[in-house]
Amino acid sequence: MVSRPASVRIPPRPRPAAAPAILRPYGRQTIDDDDIAAVVSALRADQLTCGPGVAAFEADLAAFLGARHVTVCSSGTAALHLAYAVLGLGPGDEIITTPITFSATASAAYQVGATIRLADVDPTTGNLDVASVARLVGPRTRAIVAVHLAGQPADLDELTDVARRAGVFLVEDACHALGATYRGRAVASGEADAAVLSFHPVKHITTGEGGAVIVRDPERHRHAQRLRHHGIERDPARWSRPSPGPWYHEVVEQGWNYRLPDIACALGRAQLRRLPEFLARRRQLAAAYRRAITACFGDGADAAVRPPPSTPDRESAYHLFPVAIDFDELGVDRGALMTALAARGIGTQVHYIPLHHHPFHHARMGEHAGMPRPGAEAYYARTLSLPMYPGLDPHQDVEIVIEALDQCLMELSR
């Protein structure tokens, strides 16, 4: 121990200011006693992973979606990696996708050796602009990846047409859109060549972490199931030599440990049973937000705050509720607004920083990084996600959020 003269005083370290309590985050899980009971039951089962709960969860998801083949895995990012892998995407291939998405949509492409090209987006929805996608299709294009941003379905029929005419794959990144519908059809139902889901805690249902890959083709389904488990082949008809005994199996390719354990699947099954309830509440909240925003800010194109657009041919799953605010015109700093709302217990977020703004993706894109994308820049400059999850009250909580937003905007714009 180091001794110090008695005359030397060590001043106490200043305590950091406590962060404000976020009473209404932008998103969160909804867990009840049935979920907890399901997990407890799974913990008492013989197998905590690689057991019957995995196939049961996959069957439940397939039934809900009306899909043929579902493979659950450890995350939405893992699902993207598996989807790209089973489609055979690799070095030399290009994937066209949106800049307004989470990093994983692109980074999973790098994991299979592919590159990305970023199209532009509709400045009001943030979803892919079909004409921009069509202009980017070239000889190296192998897939178009449509992200259903915030739960609002992208223009699937038009994007499917572009993909089919070009002879490339269409992938739905539906991590925001479980339960959304497009022209009467369920999003991620298996109509695209592949679709992916996420079960992160802020999503529609949660397994803690988790994801799923949906495909039409049974061979791609088998391939996804093999890849998520180290590339192990367990079908004797596909082995290279006769089995010497019951322990035998063959690793036939590079795979990964992307398994989703039975414990997580038990939670997912319990959550899935409540998904209709969750979706109804999210849509009720969205309707309440629209009414409150119109009453407070008006409903014209020049309103200070505008709700996300809706169209009659598709139904959003409302993973997020991103409003548009013209910060520059109001003279309001977005960061200052988020901080002011947080001080009132209201969490907000920006979804997303465009991929080409991130140094990692910018460097990977090369000469395509600087391509003009005015729709993406306009969307990013105005967007702010308000709290949206089933635990909110569509009357009291929505009123509190919109009143606080109005007061903070007035204070910051003075």
35 Cβ contact list (under 8 Å, min separation 6)? 267, 270, 271
Torsion-angle region of 355 (φ positive above 0: left; ψ -120 to 50: alpha; else: beta): alpha
pLDDT tens column, 45-92: 999 999 999 999 999 999 999 999 999 999 999 999 999 999 999 999
Q: Would you state the pLDDT for residue 13?
A: 55
Q: What percent of the chain has pLDDT over 90?
A: 93
Which residues of the chain are in CATH 3.40.640.10 domains? 33-274
Q: Would you state the pLDDT for residue 5?
A: 40
Q: Would you state the pLDDT for residue 1?
A: 38
Q: Would you state the pLDDT for residue 3?
A: 41
Which residues of the chain are in CATH 3.90.1150.10 domains? 276-412
- SS3 of the chain: the string is CCCCCCCCCCCCCCCCCCCCCCCECCCCCCCCHHHHHHHHHHHCCCCCCCCHHHHHHHHHHHHHHCCCEEEEECCHHHHHHHHHHHCCCCCCCEEEECCCCCCHHHHHHHHCCCEEEECCECCCCCCECHHHHHHHCCCCEEEEEEECHHHCCCCHHHHHHHHHHHCCEEEEECCCCCCCEECCEECCCCCCCEEEEECCCCCCCCCCCCEEEEECCHHHHHHHHHHCECCEECCHHHCCCCCCCCCCCEECCCCCECCCCHHHHHHHHHHHHCHHHHHHHHHHHHHHHHHHHHHHHCCCCCCCEECCCCCCCEECCCCCEEEEECHHHHCCCHHHHHHHHHHCCECCECCCCCHHHCHHHHHHHHHHCCCCCHHHHHHHHHEEEECCCCCCCCCHHHHHHHHHHHHHHHHHCC
pLDDT tier at 4, thresholds 50, 70, 90: very low
pTM (two decimals): 0.94
- Class assignment of domain 33-274? alpha beta
pLDDT tens column, 198-218: 999 999 999 999 999 999 999
Which superfamily does 276-412 belong to? Aspartate Aminotransferase, domain 1 (3.90.1150.10)
pLDDT tens column, 135-181: 999 999 999 999 999 999 999 999 999 999 999 999 999 999 999 99
Q: What is the mean pLDDT of residues 1-21?
A: 51
State the chain's mean pLDDT as an integer. Answer: 95
Least confident among 12-21, 22-31, 108-117, 383-392: 12-21
pLDDT tens column, 338-359: 999 999 999 999 999 999 999 9
Is residue 230's pLDDT more than 90?
Answer: yes
Q: Would you state the pLDDT for residue 6?
A: 44
pLDDT tens column, 370-382: 999 999 999 999 9
